[in-house]
Amino acid sequence: MKYLTFLIVFLCCVRGFSQEKNYAIVIHGGAGNFNSENFSKKQYSEYYNTLNDVLFAGDSLLRSGANAIDVVTACIVLMENSPLFNAGKGAVMNEEGNFELDASIMDGKTLKAGAITGTGVIKNPITAALAVMEDGTHVMLSGHGAEVFAKQKNIECVDQSYFLTHETQNRYQLLKKDGKGTVGAVVLDAYGNLAAGTSTGGMMMKRYGRIGDSPVIGAGTYADNNWCAVSCTGHGEYFIRFVAAYDVVALMKYSGLTVEKASAEVIRKIGEAGGTGGLIVVDKTGNIAMPFNTTSMFRGYVNSKGIKNIQF
């Protein structure tokens, strides 16, 4: 968090950067069958204010000239640090009562990507995924190997008790399957670069060793400067089968669909197969799409025109 705070303060002081440049950021906090009208005023405010704070931080960074990868990382770190979402601090438990966290990130300019999966001690999984990408030797590291790598890169690790919240413990005991969701961010920066990132604790009561779509490049995360950046949330097995994140790009690239039509088509196909979830997308010109087939999805965006929208 010290690094994040310094980055925001420093970039807000940058001089000479043109604020005329086009940029956009979209975030999600998971899709599910919940109704925000049933939230208490306190609960509603907590979710709204957290999403608003993340968008404010991302907007501040982009206005100051930050690149897309750094903004994606910073925004996901903020959501990982919140117990409201199924990522980082709010991660859910597997069937053995332990935590297995996943994350991935991709740079649309270089098509470099990094991912970690099945880790239980990395405080902010997205920072480890970024380190894998920047190291460049591999794309995905899992379990103990990912944790050893993170420690070698001086990424903060914690005891598993850090992830245990009162709500998570109650949900585990009651075997509930709805509620908090995966987090993600997609960004178009002022230089025309795209990036996407996704972080999750997986499915509540998942089988030990299960891996969903979030750390899988092409399924849960994808970015290509020529087309768009995508982050998915939902029933990961279906998003893997349909290579959902890349399929949005493929439909734009080979079928000439707009970002709105391409993303809607992907969710339609997943829904017809029995899968549930949603995704967020921003294309190379700043067009945004946030389709889902569940009751709702925590989502929001802000762009260089000052247009902001938060929904759930």
The active-site residue out of 119, 182, 200, 294 is 182
* Residues 61-75: tens digit of each pLDDT: 999 999 999 999 999
- DSSP secondary structure letters along the chain: -HHHHHHHHHHHT--S--TTS--EEEEEEEEES--GGGS-HHHHHHHHHHHHHHHHHHHHHHHTT--HHHHHHHHHHHHHT-TTSSSGGGPPPBTTS---EEEEEEETTT--EEEEEEESSBS-HHHHHHHHHHH-S-SEEEHHHHHHHHHHTT--B--GGGG--HHHHHHHHHT---S---EEEEEE-TTS-EEEEEEE---TTBPTT---STTSBTTTEEE-TTSEEEEEEE-HHHHHHTTHHHHHHHHHHHH---HHHHHHHHHHHHHHTT--EEEEEEETT--EE--BSSSEEEEEEEETT--EEEE-
Residue-wise pLDDT for 22-80, tens only, equals 999 999 999 999 888 899 999 999 999 999 999 999 999 999 999 999 999 999 999 99
Q: pLDDT tens digits, residue range 158-186?
A: 999 899 877 766 655 554 444 558 999 99
Instruction: List the chain domain ranges.
Output: 2-8+23-303
pLDDT of 5 strictly over 80:
no
Please confirm, yes or no, whether 117 is among the known catalytic residues.
Answer: no
| Residue 138 Cα distances to 105, 122, 145, 162, 196, angstroms | 13, 18, 12, 28, 18
CA atoms within 13 A on the CB side of 311: 14
pLDDT of residue 205: 84
Average predicted confidence (pLDDT) for the chain? 91
Mean pLDDT value of segment 116-124: 97
Confidence of residue 95 (pLDDT cuts 50, 70, 90): confident
Question: pLDDT digits over 187-234, tens only?
Answer: 999 999 999 999 999 988 888 999 999 999 999 999 999 999 999 999
Instruction: Average the pLDDT over each of 19-33, 75-89, 108-122, 226-240 and give the range with the smallest value.
Output: 19-33
**pLDDT at residue 11, as a whole number:** 47
Helix 41-63 to helix 2-12 angle (10° resolution) is: 50
At the fourth CATH level, the homologous superfamily of domain 2-8+23-303 is: (Glycosyl)asparaginase (3.60.20.30)
Q: Which two tokens stand for residue 172?
A: 């585990």
State residue 28's pLDDT score. 98
Instruction: Describe the crossing of helices 68-80 and 2-12 by its angle, rounded to 10 degrees.
Output: 140
Give the mean pLDDT of 87-112.
94
**If you search the block for the tokens 């980082």, which residue do you land on?**
88
